Amino acid sequence: MLDSYGVVKNHKGLIEGVQKTIEWIKAEGKTFRLLTNDASRSQGQQKESLAALGLPNIELHEIITSGMMAKHFLEQKITDGKIAYLGTENSAEYILQSGLQHIPVREIDLEDLDEISAFVFLDDEGFDWNTDINKTVNILRKKTMPVILANSDKFYPVSRHDVAVATGGIAKLVETMLNRKFIHFGKPDSQMFMYAYEQLTDELGEINKNDILMVGDTLDTDILGGNKFGVKTMLVLSGNTREERAQLLIQSKGIIPDFICKSVID
Amino acid sequence: MLDSYGVVKNHKGLIEGVQKTIEWIKAEGKTFRLLTNDASRSQGQQKESLAALGLPNIELHEIITSGMMAKHFLEQKITDGKIAYLGTENSAEYILQSGLQHIPVREIDLEDLDEISAFVFLDDEGFDWNTDINKTVNILRKKTMPVILANSDKFYPVSRHDVAVATGGIAKLVETMLNRKFIHFGKPDSQMFMYAYEQLTDELGEINKNDILMVGDTLDTDILGGNKFGVKTMLVLSGNTREERAQLLIQSKGIIPDFICKSVID
Amino acid sequence: MLDSYGVVKNHKGLIEGVQKTIEWIKAEGKTFRLLTNDASRSQGQQKESLAALGLPNIELHEIITSGMMAKHFLEQKITDGKIAYLGTENSAEYILQSGLQHIPVREIDLEDLDEISAFVFLDDEGFDWNTDINKTVNILRKKTMPVILANSDKFYPVSRHDVAVATGGIAKLVETMLNRKFIHFGKPDSQMFMYAYEQLTDELGEINKNDILMVGDTLDTDILGGNKFGVKTMLVLSGNTREERAQLLIQSKGIIPDFICKSVID
Amino acid sequence: MLDSYGVVKNHKGLIEGVQKTIEWIKAEGKTFRLLTNDASRSQGQQKESLAALGLPNIELHEIITSGMMAKHFLEQKITDGKIAYLGTENSAEYILQSGLQHIPVREIDLEDLDEISAFVFLDDEGFDWNTDINKTVNILRKKTMPVILANSDKFYPVSRHDVAVATGGIAKLVETMLNRKFIHFGKPDSQMFMYAYEQLTDELGEINKNDILMVGDTLDTDILGGNKFGVKTMLVLSGNTREERAQLLIQSKGIIPDFICKSVID
């Protein structure tokens, strides 16, 4: 199992050498899954994006996103009404492609919330923050409903030095305004690990969890999640966790990977 | 001492009867001060705004804003460089009219922060949230400096049912992103009470704090601040605290006003 | 799947009629598991305790505790040194019965922490709070190591009206003192659900998650955990969630059970 | 104005040379006040303790404690009933020596709280944590009342390397259990500064705040409080803030002292 961002790619493109690693995995008859907390794009869009970067042979079923977990939850638990969302239309279409209608915050009439049955934070793009964040606060003050957050990350890197506020940051602002906790999906929660594990056992038969390796660049999500799920974990230093701070962070957080490598090609 | 919003005015205009109350105070030879956590407007602008609503005879020195406290702090502690701000140009001009230059976030060059020596959150208006909040996060990640918040209120009412995210909410989002606490001004902190008290003793000679009454609509700011400062406190039910919830809130917070009235005219 | 406390028993003993419900489940050829966040007692001790209350025929493998999850984690990730703990000797023996030695906080020499390789919060009993909480803070300030919390509940009921601070509350105090987050086990995390699900599929073959019902008395743990795992959920009003507040809590939290019943016997 | 702990004394006794500094201040005709967040001892007990350490000539009125502020608040706002407390009998006697009766938590009957009108956290000593913290939680769940915290410090040093949980830590645990915020006294709040300032102007006539220097060892309390009050501030490196980390902390917190010295004798 590989985390995507910081392991396979970063803000500049593919991590050097990752093509060879993927080829080697496949040549050795090993199986892998990409587990990503990116909920703004579907499996298909992730596949296209990786192909455009130079990884053409990742298959759909090898990609597992936190958005898929949120989608599954919504399908099971929300059975009527419309699902309101904050994000791009693209992200809404893939997460919300179940039978239910979805409606962006900007099109919602604050005086008529009867039909709205759930709310999803999908992406930090695709809407005007000045108006739509305020509108979101008022929608959720007026009508209580399940609120889903498909990716808890508070920020993401946009260049070597700069970050941007992610959906998780915006949702946190709304949680603070309302003094409420929303329902969060994505690593370190076990769902994605479990989903991948079930897929793998379906494909390959019984697997010992000790024979699975989770590779990630972030202690709090990839490594903690993998440790709690019970698979082996490897921290790579090609993403969020810089080499010079790795030992300090491991010690201060008490989240201990089984292995540490510079990058996935080592 | 009177809180402004919820006591003197609300989203619809003046609280009914407040003109008569102010006239009566003046006729009786009593003295008052308006203490407001609104940092987006100067004393002069507040005076004009009250005059436009129908209270023409409030004098400049009778208005005390949290912005004045922030301004005073900046004048004393920041002696060179430029002060970056998030807010309207209007709010910047009055708070930052000391010798130092000020610069809105949108004009800052992220690659050249050498001259920036402090940062102030002034208003929730006057900038593009999508770009300038992200830029603020990156400015403060790249250069550590004093960050001032002139009004901690997380939201303010815009109609009978709706609220808007205030400067305090935006600053809280940035605090969360950076895992840092900024320097907050405004009630319940003692500065505004102390400033008013010093003014009053200058004008009237020695005053017993028990002879001062703080009138406010919010337990956490007006009443707690007044209680801690040592003056008598009166909660009015014409603003944030609704009559049906007042006793519950007083009990659950343990913030006990000396008096409770429907409004300042009672 | 049944939560234990508030569903099967409460502070007074068994919930009335639960024996018949269990008998009916068994007579119908249905299968059940008790999922409890109580980490202070082993499966065997839980079984004895239920038998003493009047439920003699619960079998060992039908009981799943958050302590078992913590134990499993420790066995996999901590391979040498001694495990320090706060709790009773009983709780320590069952959680820490792997090859590794365990040592209570009171016996630790603050000047010699070399051998201590992990720390576990097990119970709110079995130690002197005045001395051992302070000692815990100093141990964890001096040496960083994985810190495990086998039950995040902050309090538990001791009578109809009174509660006691649980291990989760004490751990939260230490987290605050150290400005650190420990590794939490127990519902709403998926591990216990997953463990139960794997057991059930081993025993019964392929099971559709929709054919599993999680019964619990707490929205934040039982129902949220069940909803996220993907099974059906039923809230019972015989424990933490009182009938008169149930709808309000469901709405305000947005955690929606599939069914609501007065108790497990209905 | 001098902070006491870390400036005048530390866990080993007086800071070397502080006697000479105090003598020099007095010889120069300058005035000083000790401002301490220690609420467990009265002015008289503080004076005795300093005399025992080798500072015999500190006068009562030169000592200002956060406990005095809490006492003043209670006298003004609590006019009947009994005041419950957690702490030593000593601390209770001095803080609660007003007309009202006080009662330690261990003597309170949980079934008869009618007479209890306020609660004060005074000290981390003088009670059994196992029983009395639980009892405190239940008292405050059963009856809502003002809860006062005379010292927010979460821990205090007991040796060069070790700390102990302070009243503020215990109060924080209870705040977490109850999901409530208590009323906090002590620096960085302005009351003690204001109290000292009023005393000084009474004694010496009009004083410019710029002619007052606050000396402290902690950025978050002494320096932030002094900066917000408007006096000059000096950080000494003889206490909580170690020399090697001072610049980093100043930058990361944005709390900037006007001066920095190794200790008060420089």
Question: Which residue among A130, A162, A169 places its CB closest to the CB of B173?
Answer: A169
Q: Which residues of chain C have pLDDT under 70?
A: 1-6, 97-98, 265-266
Contact A100, A78 (CB under 8 A): yes
Quick check: A243 pLDDT over 70?
Answer: yes
Q: Which of chain D's residues have a Cβ under 8 Å away from the Cβ of C129?
A: 128-130, 133
Question: Please, which residues have CB within 8 angstroms of residue D48's CB and are 6 or more apart in sequence?
Answer: none
| CB atoms closer than 10 angstroms to residue C163 | 18
Quick check: D98 pLDDT over 70?
Answer: no
Tell me what pLDDT residue C23 has. 84
- Residue A178 banded pLDDT, cuts 50, 70, 90: confident
For B102, the 3-state DSSP assignment is: strand
Contact A151, A167 (CB under 8 A): yes
Quick check: B1 pLDDT over 70?
Answer: no
Quick check: A21 pLDDT over 90?
Answer: no
What's the mean pLDDT in B2-24?
75
Quick check: D1 pLDDT over 70?
Answer: no
Tell me what pLDDT residue B238 has. 79
Nearest CA in chain C to D139: C162
What's the mean pLDDT in D21-25?
84
Tell me what pLDDT residue D56 has. 86
Which of B74, B178, B182, B183 is most worth mutating to test chain D (most D CB atoms within 10 A of its CB)? B183
Tell me what pLDDT residue B57 has. 83
| Predicted confidence (pLDDT) per residue in A64-83, tens digit | 998 888 888 888 888 889 99
Tell me what pLDDT residue C1 has. 64
| Predicted confidence (pLDDT) per residue in B181-222, tens digit | 888 888 888 888 888 888 888 888 888 888 888 988 888 888
Rounded CA gap, C161 and C59, in Å? 32
| Predicted confidence (pLDDT) per residue in B99-113, tens digit | 788 999 999 999 999
Rounded to a whole number, what is the distance in Å from the CA of B125 to chain D's nearest CA?
A: 25
Rounded CA gap, D76 and D89, in Å? 22
Quick check: B6 pLDDT over 70?
Answer: no
Buried b (16+ CB within 10 A) or exposed e, B239-262: bbbeeeebeebbeebbbbbbebee
What is the overall mean pLDDT for chain D? 86
Rounded CA gap, A78 and A66, in Å? 18
CA angle, corner B170, sides to B164 and B173, nearest 5? 125
- Residue A151 banded pLDDT, cuts 50, 70, 90: confident
Tell me what pLDDT residue D266 has. 64
Q: What element of type H or E holds D67?
A: helix D66-77
Tokens of A264: 């996935």
Choice between B159 and A83, residue whose per-residue pLDDT is larger = A83
Choice between C106 and D209, residue whose per-residue pLDDT is larger = C106
Tell me what pLDDT residue C5 has. 62
* Cβ distance of D230 and B72 shorter than 8 Å: yes
Tell me what pLDDT residue D229 has. 86
* Cβ distance of C165 and D133 shorter than 8 Å: yes
Rounded CA gap, D17 and C185, in Å? 52
| Predicted confidence (pLDDT) per residue in B25-84, tens digit | 888 888 888 898 888 888 888 899 889 988 888 888 889 998 888 888 888 888 889 999
Choice between B18 and C113, residue whose per-residue pLDDT is larger = C113
**Whose CA is closest to B41, among B29, B50, B53?**
B50
- Residue D4 banded pLDDT, cuts 50, 70, 90: low
Angle between helices B129-142 and A129-142 (to 10 degrees): 100
Rounded CA gap, D157 and D10, in Å? 8
Question: Which residue among D72, D144, D255 places its CB closest to the CB of B254?
Answer: D144
* Cβ distance of D228 and B252 shorter than 8 Å: no
Tell me what pLDDT residue A238 has. 79
* Cβ distance of D254 and B146 shorter than 8 Å: yes
Tell me what pLDDT residue D21 has. 83
Instruction: Output DSSP code: residue A157.
Output: E
Q: Which of chain D's residues have a Cβ under 8 Å away from the Cβ of B144?
A: 251-252, 254
Nearest CA in chain A to C186: A228
Contact A70, A185 (CB under 8 A): yes
Q: How far is CA A242 from the centre of its chain?
A: 21
Q: Is the alpha carbon torsion for D55, D60, D62, D64 positive or negative?
A: positive
Q: What element of type H or E holds B256?
A: none
Q: Which of chain A's residues have a Cβ under 8 Å away from the Cβ of C144?
A: 251-252, 254
Rounded CA gap, B220 and D11, in Å? 37
Tell me if chain D has a CB within 8 Å of the CB of B121: no
Tell me what pLDDT residue A25 has. 84
Tell me what pLDDT residue C266 has. 64
Tell me what pLDDT residue C208 has. 84
Question: Which residue among D180, D189, D227 places its CB closest to the CB of B77?
Answer: D227
What is the overall mean pLDDT for chain A? 86
| Predicted confidence (pLDDT) per residue in B98-155, tens digit | 678 899 999 999 999 999 999 999 999 999 999 999 999 999 988 888 899 988 888 8
Rounded CA gap, C95 and C92, in Å? 5
For B103, the 3-state DSSP assignment is: strand
Nearest CA in chain D to B257: D77
* Cβ distance of D163 and C110 shorter than 8 Å: no
Question: Please, which residues have CB within 8 angstroms of residue C152's CB and are 6 or more apart in sequence?
Answer: C37, C168, C171, C184, C185, C186
Rounded CA gap, D187 and D223, in Å? 9
CA angle, corner B99, sides to B98 and B100, nearest 5? 95
* Weakest-pLDDT range from B48-52, D62-66, D135-139, D252-256: D252-256
Buried b (16+ CB within 10 A) or exposed e, A62-91: bbbbbbbbbbbbbebbbeeebbbbbbbebb
